[in-house]
Amino acid sequence: MNTLLYIQSSIFSDAGTSSGLARQFADKWRQVHPHGSVIERDLAREPVPHLDADRFHAFSLPAEQRSPAQQAAVEYSDRLIEELQRADTLVLGLPLYNFGVPSTLKAYFDHVARAGITFRYTAQGSVGLLTGKRAVVFATRGGIYEGADTQPQYIRNFLGFLGIEAIEFVFAEGLALGEASKQRAIAQAQTELAGLQILQRQAA
The binder of ligand FMN chosen from 140, 159, 162, 193 (CB under 6 A) = 140
- In the bound state with ligand FMN, the residue whose beta carbon lies nearer, of 81 and 136, is 136
H or E stretch at 106: helix 103-112
**Other CB atoms closer than 10 Å to residue 69's CB: what's the count?**
11
> By CB under 6 A, which span of 4-12, 108-116, 128-136, 194-202 interacts with ligand FMN?
4-12
**How far apart are alpha carbons 58 and 77 in whole angstroms?**
10
Decide if residue 18 touches ligand FMN (CB under 6 A): yes
> By CB under 6 A, which span of 12-20, 48-56, 72-80, 116-124 interacts with ligand FMN?
12-20
Binding residues among 143-172 for ligand FMN as defined by CB under 6 A: 143
- In the bound state with ligand FMN, the residue whose beta carbon lies nearer, of 19 and 118, is 19
Q: Which residues contact 131 (CB under 8 A, 6 or more apart)?
A: 163, 164
Decide if residue 175 touches ligand FMN (CB under 6 A): yes
Decide if residue 124 touches ligand FMN (CB under 6 A): no
For 154-178, b where at least 16 C-beta lie within 10 A, e where not — what string? ebbebbbbbbbeebebbbbbbbeee
Which of 119, 46, 28 minimizes the C-alpha distance to 81? 119
Binding residues among 22-81 for ligand FMN as defined by CB under 6 A: none
**How far apart are alpha carbons 42 and 13 in whole angstroms?**
7
Site size toward ligand FMN, by CB under 6 A: 19
Kindly list the residues in this chain that would bind ligand FMN in the complex (CB under 6 A): 10-12, 16-19, 93, 95-99, 140-143, 175-176
